[in-house]
Homo-oligomer: A and B are copies of this chain.
């Protein structure tokens, strides 16, 4: 456990370099030699800090997930009530992905190719998503603004719907339409769970 701070800093440096390559060239076309050269270290050193290229990629995904997580928490905290929190959650999440797809130009191309790998890597984030949504929904029930029979399944349904909309969103299938659609879905969703006097 000695020198762990120093090791983490170095890992971070490597990730910063790797991130840029993955963004521009994707997983397949990014080479370990390039990462090593750009980071000014030997390629072998890379393998001292990470066990494989996929491992680095996974670390980048997890880092990205942490950024989104803090973004979500920030926007949720800003929201005044459960309704606004839920709205902020869905909108922030979908907008973030959209922005990401501009930076990660390879994201759209490699989406099908690496779908299951990314999904496996995001497992923790997905758990976080469900937990957070459950918390928001539960808070809404407690405050008497939501009326939901099964919070678990409701949270799961929301997550799967958001995931489902990811690919069409990346393909910009309906481009401008998409944000409207999300708003409409939110409206229907709210009418669906809002308790009425």
Contact = CB atoms under 8 A, between A and B. Distances in A.
A162 B25 CA distance: 32
A184 B154 contact: yes
Interface in A142-197: 147, 149-150, 153-154, 156-157, 160-161, 163-168, 171, 173-174, 177-178, 180-181, 184-185, 187-193, 196
A119 interface: yes
Given A168-B164, A173-B119, A196-B196, A157 B188 contact: yes
The oligomer's copy count stands at: 2
A193 B196 contact: no
Nearest to A191: B192
Contacts of A157: 181, 184-185, 188
A79 to B, nearest CB: 20
A106 to B, nearest CB: 14
Contacts of A154: 184, 188
